[in-house]
Amino acid sequence: MDTKLHILKQTVTNLLAAPKSMATGHYSGVNYHATTAISDFERKITDHYADFIPGDLASVCRQAGMTFDFPSFGLIVEFEKPVEITLYDDEHVLDENAKEAITRFGTLIFRNAYLAGKFRNQGQRNIFPDLHFHLDRGSNQDNQYSLFCRDPFDAVQKHPRQSSTLITANIIAYLQSLKEGRPPKQGQQSLYEDLFKNEDLSTHIGSTILEQAWTAPEGTGEICLIDNRLVLHASYYRTGQGYPIGVRYLF
């Protein structure tokens, strides 16, 4: 396993201490800057769902049988130049530094980065139904990390994509179900169908929902990683369905 991703440790530390700042570093000789996608995440949730949170968010999480530990949501690492990045090994085991970043921020996104050649055509290509927030992996499966990627060398994926990927914490799907008059079961659910269908999503994106848009310029590599134990995700047909994105399931 390439060990260069140890540089994420200091980046994570810096942004946990100062979530509205920008952290810098370098990987394989290429500089990057890193930011959090959504700072003050808990406050934004409690503001948006105030009518459905009697008390504090922690008490609602206990009631829902869920945990929540994201002061900030989403870590975005953007490189100054295109860079090949090694994120997992031949056994599909994800780098430990990437795992730590995902645990702390829920989502880890690399922009202007692409997988090494031997990994580029692995896995599958998927597109999910519009606004069906779900988990990729069951609780009995060990490979709980999902990696989504756009290959800048592929004839189709080199182009910006029409549909995006929405990512959010489990408790938000629970609260949104309550708001829509569909009281959910306790605990993490594997699927919430058609959430937010009757709402202006612009009031949620960047506040309670992170959007990985896949709209960087032609020939730009993009990679997004999540832990299915911590978050839910869905396709959002922003301007159309678009092409299937690359998917890997990692240990």
Q: What are phi and psi of 217, to 5 degrees?
A: -55, 160
Distance in angstroms (rounded) separating the CA atoms of residues 44 and 38 = 9
* Cα angle 12, 14, 20; round to 5: 100
Contact 110, 77 (CB under 8 A): yes
Q: Which residue reads 């937010």 in tokens?
A: 196
> Each residue of 9-45: pLDDT tens digit?
999 999 999 999 999 999 999 999 999 999 999 999 9
CB count in 10 Å sphere of residue 82: 13
Contact 236, 131 (CB under 8 A): yes
Whether the pLDDT of residue 1 is over 60: the answer is no
> What does the buried/exposed string (b/e) look like for 169-182 if buried means 16 or more CB atoms within 10 Å of the residue's CB?
bbbbbbbbbbebee
Tokens of 48: 């948006």
The whole-number pLDDT of residue 183 equals 83
The whole-number pLDDT of residue 3 equals 65
> In the 8-state DSSP scheme, what is residue 216?
S
The whole-number pLDDT of residue 185 equals 86
Contact 99, 226 (CB under 8 A): no
Q: Report the share of the chain in percent with pLDDT over 70.
A: 99
State mean pLDDT over 71-94. Answer: 96
Tokens of 58: 């922690």
The whole-number pLDDT of residue 121 equals 85
Distance in angstroms (rounded) separating the CA atoms of residues 18 and 43 = 16
Q: What are phi and psi of 175, to 5 degrees?
A: -65, -40
pLDDT band at 144 (very low <50, low <70, confident <90, very high): very high
CB count in 10 Å sphere of residue 167: 24
State mean pLDDT over 232-251. Answer: 96
pLDDT band at 120 (very low <50, low <70, confident <90, very high): confident
State mean pLDDT over 89-110. Answer: 97
The whole-number pLDDT of residue 34 equals 98
Whether the pLDDT of residue 2 is over 80: the answer is no
Q: What is the pTM of this model?
A: 0.96
The whole-number pLDDT of residue 184 equals 84
Q: What is the mean pLDDT of the chain?
A: 95
**226: nearest Cα among 134, 114, 152:** 134
Contact 227, 135 (CB under 8 A): no
State mean pLDDT over 62-82. Answer: 96
Q: Which residue reads 């049988």 in tokens?
A: 65
**172: nearest Cα among 62, 82, 86, 61:** 61
Report the SS3 class of residue 36.
strand
> In the 8-state DSSP scheme, what is residue 142?
S
Whether the pLDDT of residue 84 is over 90: the answer is yes
**Integer angstrom CA distances of residue 225 from 101, 107, 147:** 10, 6, 5
- 29 vs 117, more confident: 29
Q: Report the share of the chain in percent with pLDDT over 90.
A: 90
> Each residue of 226-240: pLDDT tens digit?
999 999 999 999 999
Distance in angstroms (rounded) separating the CA atoms of residues 249 and 199 = 31
Whether the pLDDT of residue 170 is over 70: the answer is yes
